[in-house]
Structure 1
Amino acid sequence: MLNYLFLILAIVMEAAGTTLLKFSEQFTKLVPSIFSLLCYVASLYPLSLCLRTIPIGIAYATWSALGIALITLSGMFFFKQTPDLGAIIGLLLIISGVAVLNLFSKMEIH
């Protein structure tokens, strides 16, 4: 279970880095640029820790899906970007696919 906490931490740090990337305005603002890069780097270590027991395909699919969902929420909250019906359906399909992968996959670590 601890490894899934590492994965969640990695996802949150990556989403924070992406949000800060938007605030950096193409790296023209120093403080958000530095913190964006720090968040990206800080996301990799917990990701590497979770890969001890979570198969890489499942970890990356989860990272991607939850990251997309968090970034969508970030866009709504910080940048007033409202997802349309197509975006909502797409997000639900992505998250559903990852849920199926996590619940029913028999992949193992070797």
Structure 2
Amino acid sequence: MNLDEIWSPFLNQLATSNTVKSVSKKTITGIPFLYLTVNSDIIKAEIETLIKLEAAKCMRGKQLRMEYSFVREEKNLLVYRVRFLVPQEKMFCCGNLCPDCIRYRN
């Protein structure tokens, strides 16, 4: 699955929010970081709720889950590590007669 199909609408939705002034994604050593510049009167819990809500909208109908963690804060800048995770499923039969073998799916 191409995760750019999830990231683009996710970033666009965050950018159109009233509480966020600017949003950007930077990938450092393969880990995506979300940089949010917010209004000065917004608390961190509101931003985390907004992240979860917008991620849920973008993941609707797809087998994904989102994992995020707070990294740091500087004045009006909040940094989060955000990852969209694809479930690990077997895609082929390995021949070991596994109970969750792809051959047993409908």
TM-score, structure 2 as length reference? 0.29
Whose Rg is larger? 2
Query: Which structure has the highest helix share of the two?
Result: 1
Query: Which structure has the highest strand share of the two?
Result: 2
